[in-house]
Every structure is written in C-alpha cells, then in structure tokens.
Amino acid sequence: MSTVLSGLDAALPDLESLYTDLHRHPELAFAEHRTAGVLASRLEAAGFTVHRGVGQTGVVGVLRNGDGPAVMLRADIDALPVRERTGLDYASTDTGLDADGNEVPVMHACGHDMHATWLSGAAALLARGREHWSGTLLVVFQPGEEVGDGAAGMVRDGLFDIAGRPDVVLGQHIAPGPAGWVLTRPGVLMAATDSLRITLHGRGGHGSRPETTVDPVVLAASVVLRLQTIVSRELAATEQAVVTVGSLHAGTTHNVIADRAVLEVNVRTFDATVRDRVLAAIGRIVRGEAQAAGAPAEPEITEIATFPVTSNDEHATESLTAAFRAHFPDGSVLDAPLVTGSEDFGEFGTAAGVPSVFWLVGGMDPEKVMTAMAQGRFESDIPSNHSPLFAPVLHPTLRVGVETLVVGALNWLTAPASG
C-alpha cells in the first residue's frame, strides 16, 4: 500500500492542475466530450487499454495484470446547469445547451470534477505500482449521472462485454463534511429518486373573464399544496420520503389565462413500498384536483428520470471500512448517515450481479465545518452539493480521495506471487 501511494506527493501538483481545468470547463450530461478526451488521454499515458464513447461519452480503461480479481472503480464526469458564484479564480463561466436546446450556465456544483481527478490519480498510481498487485483494474468515467441514465446507458452499450465483468464495484462522492473525513455505511446509503413532469390542462381565455376558463394556475396551486400532504398525512412517522415541486410554469403575460401548467416533481424514498405509495398518491391527487377543477382533459404524468436506491453490500463494506481504518488516522473514518440525495452508481453492481460499495469523502474546510456544526449553523453556513457556492478545498481533499480509491482497489487485488 505505502509503495503504491509513494508517488502521490509528487503527483499532487498535476492533479491540482487537472482539477482546476475540469472545474473551469464543465460540460452537461452526455456533452462531456472535452472532459472525456482529457481523461482518456491520461489513462492511455498510464498504460491502460482505453475504450471511448461507451454510453455516448463514457470512457473505460482496462489494465490486465495477471491472475486475480477484477476491481471496477467508477467516477462520474457531468456538470449541472448552475451559474457559479464561488468567486474562485478558476470558476466556470462556460455555458451549454440543455435538453431543450436552451443556453444555460454550467458549473461543477456537485463535485464530479473532483471525482474524476481522484480516479485519474488513483489509476495512474495503481498502474505505476502494478508489480505490487495482481488482477484486473477497470476504470470507468461515467457520463450523465445527473440525469439518471449514465450508468444504465454504459451497461446497455456493452460495458461488461468490453471490459469484462468485475468482482466488485467501488465508487465515492464528495460531501460537504470536513476534508479528511471518510464515511461508510453498510446497506442503504442513498435514496431512490423519481422525477416527474406533470402537465395540467385548462381552458385559456381573457384575464377579465375567468368564468369562461378553467384556470390551470389555480389548479396547479391546489396540486402543489395537496402534494405536500402526502408525507405529512399519508406516511407514518417512522417512514421517510421527500416530495418537492421543483418547477412550475404557466402563462406568458398578466392578462391572459393560460391553457396549461407544467410542474416538475422530485420524489426521494428509501423503501420500495413507500415509493409505490407515494407515486400512487401523486397520481391520485393530480387526477382528483383536475377533475375537481373541471379540467377539459386528463393530466399527463411523465417520468423524467429515475435513480435506484444506493445499497452497499454489507460484507464488502465491512471489509473496506476495516481497510480504511487501518490506513487513515483514528477518528477520520466514520459512519455515514442516510443521504436523501441519489446516485445511479448502483446500476453497475446490479447489472454485473456483484457486490458494490459507495462511500463519502469530506471536502470542506474542517475548521469552518466544525465551527458551523458547533453553532448549529451547518445547513446555513456550509454550501451543499448543487449550490452555486459549492467549492471544495483542494487540500487535503485531493490526497484523501486518491488514497481511498487506491486502498479500496488493493483491498481486493491480490498480492503477486513471490518467485
């Protein structure tokens, strides 16, 4: 372990340059052409056999190094349509086109630039130290995580036909905790997500004559309020779910009653039974409110994206956690809480039929985080993922994230047989 990691100090300046470059030039889901090219070239330079364009813009590196297990390490690479407000000298000013063709600001507001940098660094160290392990290393840079189809898209595109089926799948995510912390959790770690687009049909007309219309704005307002009763009145206190109306669009001007309203709803659940009940309740409420309003047509409910629950294999997680605790200082490897955020990482282990483990790595200034926690101001003072102010500290975040991936990979890759 120490020998493989011995080159990390010398590699950190290069990794910092890679990170700031990726942060300065983010790309939206399935548009990560520049990002994929940079990462693929680095894998080729490290000696990997590289496959480009897997699942549209994904990159797969394969390093076969004798007999032994196959370990897959994964990082996501896409950014978000967010206007950056960090004030960093390497802040993004780039724009991109969203799925509807609209030009939008783009930012790495969820840390995927850090994920890619960690994996690039770990892959290079493992390749350089290949005399100290035996097996096959699969490195996967995944596009489209934010839209929920990146992992499944790579699987559909023949990922495991190209690279072979791994024995374990490992991945990690930066979190707004203190840099230096590593958080693991067996079993369920992150929530499932269902994102829905709901179109409510009304009957448009003049703003001065509402009696001739069916006002979709009023209908939408009723739906929004009623949806909030699902969690508070239809779930037990011991059950967990989040129902958020993230957008609502209706009308074009003040004196015209529109003929439709469009809502986008996000649902987070940890349990399949709860998920089914929440989705059924959404359908019942939307249809019921439309009928009560006298809507001229049935509402339309369309799935935008879906993410599975991220659930870690218990035995593999226990093994990995023990390896982390043996490597990192006492008190830095902690139990992770349940996270209401979602990931499509679990698609890989499910599709391969092998154990998978996903963990969290802190990325914020430790002093600021601990002070905010002590004052009960963590939620207000520490920007979370997806915030326009999300800005991980580079050190020790870069080092710790590379080390976790190397430690994780070597926990499964066998030591080479001695002569």
**Helix (H) or strand (E) segment spanning residue 327:** helix 314-327
Q: What is the pLDDT of residue 419?
A: 41
Amino acid at 372: A
405 token code pair: 């991936």
pLDDT of residue 235: 97
**Do 114 and 197 reside in the same domain of the chain?**
no
State pTM to two decimals: 0.93
List Cα–Cα distances, 150 to 56, 269, 357, 407, in angstroms. 9, 21, 18, 26
Question: From residue 162, how far is each of 37, 133, 170 by CA, in Å?
Answer: 19, 22, 18
Residues 145 and 41 in one domain: yes
Residues 180, 238: one domain?
Answer: no
240/13 Cα distance (integer angstroms): 43
Does 146 count as an annotated binding residue?
yes
Q: Does 143 share its domain with 273?
A: no
Location of structure tokens 């006492």:
330
Whole-angstrom distance, CA of residue 189 vs CA of residue 311? 6
Which of 263, 279, 306 lies at the terminal end of a domain, its last residue?
A: 306
What is the model's pLDDT at position 81? 97
In a domain, 59, yes or no: yes
Q: Are residues 12 and 78 in the same domain?
A: yes
Domain stops at, among 276, 306, 336:
306
- Give the per-residue pLDDT at 312: 98
- Both 295 and 374 in one domain: the answer is no
Do 293 and 359 fall into the same domain?
no
| Owning domain of residue 214 | 192-306
The reply to whether 120 falls in a domain is: yes
Look at the chain and report how many structural domains it folds into: 2
Query: Catalytic amino acids?
Result: 78, 145
* Domain stops at, among 306, 340, 368: 306
Q: Helix 33-46 vs helix 112-128: angle between axes, to the nearest 10 degrees?
A: 10
269 in the same domain as 316: no
Residue 371 is assigned to a structural domain of this protein: yes
Residue 142, C-beta contacts closer than 8 angstroms, at least 6 positions apart: 55, 58, 74, 75, 76, 77, 150, 151, 154
CB proximity list for 193: less than 8 A, separation 6 or greater: 148, 266, 267, 268, 305, 306, 307, 342
Side chain identity at residue 353, one-letter code: G
The residue type of 103 is E
Tokens, residue 133? 């392990």
Q: Are 170 and 113 part of one and the same domain?
A: yes
Consult the annotation and say whether 289 binds a ligand: no
The residue to which tokens 């089926």 are assigned = 165
Q: Are residues 35 and 173 in the same domain?
A: yes
Q: How many residues does the chain have?
A: 419
Q: Is 216 part of a structural domain of the chain?
A: yes
Residue 298 annotated as binding site = no
The answer to the question of residue 417 being in a domain is: no
Indicate which CATH number applies to the domain containing 213. Answer: 3.30.70.360
Where residue 322 sits, what CATH number does that domain have? Answer: 3.40.630.10
Predicted confidence at residue 417, as pLDDT, reads: 55
* CA separation for the pair 137, 110 (Å, rounded): 26
Q: Are residues 64 and 187 in the same domain?
A: yes
Is 418 domain-assigned?
Answer: no
| Residue 315 is labelled as binding a ligand | no
Residues 269, 343 within the same domain: no
State how far the Cα of 8 lies from the Cα of 120, in Å rounded to an integer: 12
Residues of the chain under the 50 pLDDT cut: 418-419
**Within a domain: 419:** no
